[in-house]
C-alpha cells in the first residue's frame, strides 16, 4: 500500500507489476537523457553565437535529427508492445473470481466453489478497530492463494466501475452488460489494497478492495 511521502510506485506483488515497473524506469531513463541533452543545447545557445555565412543547409545533421528520434521511439515502442501482449495473455487459471461493481460496494463470487458469494463494504470510521486502516479496510476481504494463476471476471450492475489493485498491476473496467477478464499471479503473501478507479457517482472512494493473499494450504482450509 502507499505510504506518506511515497513518490515511487508501490512494491510489486506479481510478475506483471514487476515488468510494468521495469518499463516505467526504462522509459523514464530515456526521457531524462532527452531532457538533459535538449536542456544542455538550449543553455549553450544563450552563451554562444553560432554564425557561419556560408552555411546554407545541413543535410547530414537533418538526417541525424530525423532518424535518431525514430530509433529512440522504437526503443520505447517494442518493450511497450511486448508488455501489452503479456498483460492480455490468459494462462490456464487455477481458480476464477467474479467481481460485480455496485454503487458503492463490490460483490464477489468464487465460481469454482458452491455458494460462496458475499458483498464487500468499506468499514465506517466509527466502527473501525484500532489496528484497521481508515478509508482502506473492508468488512469482507477477498482471500486468494499465492503462487496460483487467478482469473478475474469483472462486470457492473449499474454504472461503469473499475477494479484496481496497484500492487498487482491490475485495472479492469466493470461495464454493465459486459464481462471483462484478466489474470494475475500473486507471488507473496500479504494484504493488497485498491479501490474503484472510475468516477462512478458520489462515492467511488468508498468502493474499496482488499485482497488477503495466503499460502495455498491455508486457502484450502
pLDDT tens profile 152-177: 999 999 899 999 999 999 999 999 99
Q: How far apart are CA 46 and CA 145, in angstroms?
A: 60
pLDDT tens profile 114-149: 888 999 999 988 888 888 888 889 989 999 999 999
Out of 64, 88, 112, a domain closes at 88
Quick check: is 192 in a domain? yes
Quick check: is 8 in a domain? no
Residues 81 and 147 in one domain: no
Domain count of the fold of the chain: 2
Per-residue pLDDT of the chain (221 residues; tens, 9 = 90+): 677 778 888 888 999 999 999 999 999 999 999 999 999 989 988 888 777 777 777 788 889 989 999 999 999 999 999 999 988 888 888 899 999 999 889 999 998 888 889 999 999 888 888 888 888 899 899 999 999 999 999 999 989 999 999 999 999 999 999 999 999 999 999 999 999 988 888 877 889 999 999 998 888 87
Out of 61, 88, 115, a domain closes at 88
Residues 117 and 198 in one domain: yes
Print the domain residue range for 157.
95-220
To which residue does cell 473499475 refer? Answer: 162
CATH code where residue 77 lies: 1.10.287.90
Residues 203 and 113 in one domain: yes
Residues 123 and 55 in one domain: no
Amino acid at each position: 500500500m502507499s505510504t506518506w511521502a511515497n513518490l515511487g510506485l508501490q512494491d510489486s506483488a506479481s510478475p506483471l507489476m514487476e515488468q510494468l515497473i521495469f518499463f516505467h524506469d526504462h522509459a523514464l531513463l530515456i526521457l531524462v537523457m532527452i531532457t538533459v541533452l535538449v536542456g544542455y543545447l538550449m543553455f549553450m545557445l544563450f552563451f554562444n553565437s553560432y554564425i557561419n555565412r556560408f552555411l546554407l543547409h545541413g543535410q547530414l545533421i537533418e538526417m541525424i535529427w530525423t532518424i535518431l528520434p525514430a530509433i529512440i521511439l522504437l526503443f520505447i515502442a517494442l518493450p511497450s508492445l511486448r508488455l501489452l501482449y503479456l498483460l492480455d495473455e490468459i494462462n490456464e487459471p487455477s481458480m476464477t473470481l467474479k467481481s460485480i461493481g455496485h454503487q458503492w460496494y463490490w460483490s464477489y463470487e468464487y465460481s469454482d466453489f458452491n455458494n460462496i458469494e458475499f458483498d464487500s463494504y468499506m468499514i465506517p470510521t466509527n466502527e473501525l478497530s484500532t489496528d484497521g486502516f481508515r478509508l482502506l479496510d473492508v468488512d469482507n476481504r477477498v482471500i486468494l492463494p499465492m503462487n496460483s494463476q487467478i482469473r478475474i471476471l469483472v462486470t457492473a450492475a449499474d454504472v461503469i466501475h473499475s477494479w484496481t489493485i496497484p500492487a498487482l498491476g491490475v485495472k479492469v473496467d466493470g461495464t454493465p452488460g459486459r464481462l471483462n477478464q484478466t489474470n494475475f499471479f500473486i507471488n507473496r503473501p500479504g494484504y493488497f489494497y485498491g479501490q474503484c478507479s472510475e468516477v462512478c457517482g458520489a462515492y467511488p472512494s468508498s468502493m474499496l478492495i482488499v485482497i488477503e493473499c495466503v499460502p495455498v494450504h491455508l486457502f484450502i482450509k
